Amino acid sequence: MGNNIRLKTQGEMDAMAHSGQAAAKTLQALKAASAVGVSTMDLEMLAREVLASQGARPALLNYHPRFSRVPYLYATCISVNDEVIHGQPSSKAILKEGDVVGLDLVAEIDGWLADTAITVIVGNGSVKAQRLLSVTQESMWHGIKKAVAGGKMGDVSNAVQRLVERNGFGVIRELTGHGVGSEVHEEGIDVPNFGRAGKGISLQVGMTFCIEPMVTAGSPLIRHRPGDPWAVVTRDGSIGAHFEHTVAVTEDGPRVLTMLQS
């Protein structure tokens, strides 16, 4: 394991879980508000309000990662239909019946961050869309179960890939989960959604990272939308789904830091 991976203490994990609750409550509000006639900018503004009410800062707002030439200007990424990730909110993007909508955000409280995402369907949606969302979410949980000390990152990746491909969907290769904690993208940890069990970096107590399957209903090939520095779309126009939790490796197994607590 590289020296640039920052292992978290129990107290730091607790602090991340506090941010995780703010993120989870915000996603819950966005899911409830995702309806016909609502714009993605309406959802963006709601997210800012809910995060503020939780004492949290939207860590994506004006975030400028090393891999981008421009900063991101919103609190959320809202990706519709063939947009897999990093869709930018817009007052012109009005949700319609059957739209598949990815909702992704990062909450920060007192310097500690938690990253989470869900995908929802506006109204009823197609049977294929419903199945895509179900399989993508289930694959995330299969990966989370493998996030145990003494294991390998490949165990996580392989668990995701096997479930997705067994169900006839596409696993995107170019996009991965990542380390998270004091930064949105912490160095030293990548979490691919494909790979071989028993391979990759060793998982140790104190590691915190995002497990986030990004799955397509058709070909797994993707591209950037022309003229948009952020949105990643499927090449064949098929719908995509994205689910994400921030997870900590503990002595007692994986701890999901962005799980909504009752």
Taking residue 94's Cβ as centre, other Cβ atoms within 10 Å add up to 15
- For 81-185, strand residue ranges (E) read 83-85, 100-109, 112-121, 170-171, 177-179
Q: What is the pLDDT of residues 7-57, one digit of tens each?
A: 999 999 999 999 999 999 999 999 999 999 999 999 999 999 999 999 999
Confidence at residue 2, expressed as pLDDT on a 0 to 100 scale: 47
Distance between the two ends of the chain, CA-based, in angstroms?
A: 36
| 10-256 CATH pick, 3.40.1350.10, 3.90.230.10, 3.40.50.2000, 3.40.50.410 | 3.90.230.10
Integer Cα distance of 59 and 237 in angstroms: 30
Domains in the chain: boundaries: 10-256
Is residue 64 a contact partner of residue 71, using CB atoms and an 8 Å limit?
A: yes
pLDDT tens digits for range 175-233:
999 999 999 999 999 999 999 999 999 999 999 999 999 999 999 999 999 889 999 99
pTM equals 0.96
Query: Residue 252: what residue type?
Result: D
pLDDT in tens, 65-111: 888 889 999 999 999 999 999 999 999 999 999 999 999 999 999 99
Helices 153-166 and 127-145, packing angle to 10 deg: 160
Q: Residue 3's pLDDT band (boundaries 50, 70, 90)? A: low
| pLDDT on residue 198 | 97
Proportion of the chain above pLDDT 90, given as a percent: 95
- What is the rounded average pLDDT for all residues in the chain? 96
What strands, in cross-sheet order, belong to the sheet with 177-179?
Answer: 186-191, 177-179, 208-211, 245-250, 253-256
Supply 22's token pair: 């703010």
